Amino acid sequence: MKITRRSFLAASAAASTYSLLAQQKDSSSGSRPLGASKQREHGSALDPRLADAAAKPVLNLNGLKDPVIIESIELLRKGREHFLRVRSKDGAEGLSVDNGRADVLHPILNRLVIPYFIGKDARELEEHLFGVYRDRDNYKFQGLALWCPVALVEFAILDLLGRIAGKSIAKLLGGAIRTSVPFYVASGRRDTTPEQEIDYLKGLIEKTGAKSIKYRVGGRMSRNADASPGRTERLIPLTRKVFGDKMAIHADANSSYDAQHAIPVGRMLEDINAVYFEEPCPFDDFDATKKVTDALKIPIALGEQESSRARFQWCIRERVADIMQPDLFYYGGLIRSIRVARMAAVRDMPTTVHLSGGFGFVYSLHFAACVPNIGPWQEYKQGVETYGQWFNPPLRITDGALRVPKGPGVGIADPKEVLKGAEAVKG
């Protein structure tokens, strides 16, 4: 099946309650680029529908009538894993699991983020996400350095509220509309020859049962240089030849190219009917990315490095890319990311969150469970073997998909058992 913007968005619509429609560029008729009709309608002026969509409440607070006052928040370490434990004055607890950044970000977490939340009512979490941003000039740390710690606190508070209310995080965030989430398995390597990468991808497929893959092209922020000479132009056709027409293929450039060099790579991906082309240009060069988006039929994905709601809104309004990709940690949590998805839905665009690794795929499952306008495959970087037994029933991969945890909060069956032997991280 040929994958174009139209078929990708149609597949997204089949997986959601939104009708995701897109106008495919018709090169033979000289029509305007994708999204041009919407640009004519709204021009460069602000589209108030986007702000309105983002402003609506996200949390469902039914079953949470009484205040949930936060008494303590503590960063813990066990082996190589970091956890955050939040306790209410009534003795309830919530737990979150870090994505590997706490080693360097714990001073911001402990000194700037945690103190804001002490004594606050956890039910007012949505307002607190702005409050902590504004508190003590924290906004001057705007970016991954601030929002990863905030996300870790948000996840723990959502777990706390879910356990009190007897609801999963997905239900807290508006209601679960999916119980199972198909995924693509991501390679994440550039140290391979095309042949070695094929072998590595085969191993990931055998291990996970994935029916969709993602691999890296280019050289990562490399100013148009390939990871090794000729790797990308050999790898792209080889993957389709080896894996056949039924495999869904995604490619990530990690900001490798300027627009002039990204477009030919995109054409190669169009030739193999790839699903989308992720971050072809430097992530903050919106002009270059938009040139690529307008030139190609393959959907362009962008957003994993983004930390600003206003910039996401601008990217959506101006159709800088076709798919929004906030990272649940880097962007500051589930609530903020759901607001991006709501804005994207106004412009008939899917939101397929980026996954920064580790336990994060569990948070991605909760996001995908409750957000209508997701893409047909979500990112998976492995982790069931490490974390699956924390849940009851244990998390399992079935036919290239993961089931969403059903238990209260994030779904960990016995947080106390998970935290046995953990020690506090100070400073």
pLDDT digits (tens, 9 = 90+) for 247-276: 999 999 999 999 999 999 999 999 999 999
Structure tokens at 186: 């991501």
**Cβ 333 vs Cβ 307: under 8 Å:** no
Residues 285-307 have a mean pLDDT of: 98
Is the pLDDT score of 63 beyond 70? yes
**Cβ 317 vs Cβ 347: under 8 Å:** yes
- What is the three-class DSSP state of 414? coil
Helix (H) or strand (E) holding 397: strand 397-398
Sign for the CA dihedral angle at 202, 203, 206, 207 comes to negative
**Cβ 201 vs Cβ 239: under 8 Å:** yes
Is the pLDDT score of 15 beyond 70? no
The set of residues, in sequence order, having a beta carbon less than 8 Å from that of 136 and lying 6+ positions away, is 112, 116
What pLDDT sits at residue 45? Answer: 56
Mean of the per-residue pLDDT values for the chain?
91
The band of 25, judged by pLDDT with boundaries at 50, 70 and 90, is very low
Q: Which amino acid is at 405?
A: P
Is the pLDDT score of 1 beyond 70? no
DSSP 409: B
Q: What is the pTM of this model?
A: 0.91
Identify the residue with better confidence: 348 or 41: 348
Dist. CA 22–CA 371, nearest whole Å: 19
Backbone φ and ψ for 212, nearest 5 degrees, come out as -150, 145
- Helices 231-243/194-208 angle, 10° precision: 40
- First-last CA distance in the chain: 54
**Cβ 99 vs Cβ 359: under 8 Å:** yes
Which residue(s) pair with 78 in the sheet? 81
Write down the H helix ranges in 347-420.
360-370, 384-387, 415-418
At CB < 8 A and 24+ separation, what contacts does 405-409 make?
405/168, 405/362, 405/365, 405/366, 406/168, 407/168, 408/162, 408/163, 408/165, 408/166, 408/167, 408/168, 409/94, 409/95, 409/158, 409/159, 409/160, 409/161, 409/162, 409/163, 409/167, 409/168, 409/169
Dist. CA 410–CA 427, nearest whole Å: 27
Residues 340-362 have a mean pLDDT of: 96
What pLDDT sits at residue 39? Answer: 38
Torsion, CA 358, CA 175, CA 167, CA 340, rounded to 10? 40
Q: Which amino acid is at 330?
A: Y
The set of residues, in sequence order, having a beta carbon less than 8 Å from that of 153 and lying 6+ positions away, is 73, 84, 86, 96, 109, 113, 114, 117, 132
Q: Is 314 exposed, middle or buried (0-12, 13-18, 19+ CB in 10 A)?
A: middle
**CB-hemisphere CA count at 13 Å for 347?**
32
Is the pLDDT score of 32 beyond 50? no
Q: Is 57 exposed, middle or buried (0-12, 13-18, 19+ CB in 10 A)?
A: exposed
Q: Mean pLDDT lowest for which of 19-28, 36-45, 183-192?
A: 19-28
E-strand ranges in 164-270 read 180-186, 212-216, 248-252
Q: Which amino acid is at 392?
A: N
**Cβ 335 vs Cβ 309: under 8 Å:** no
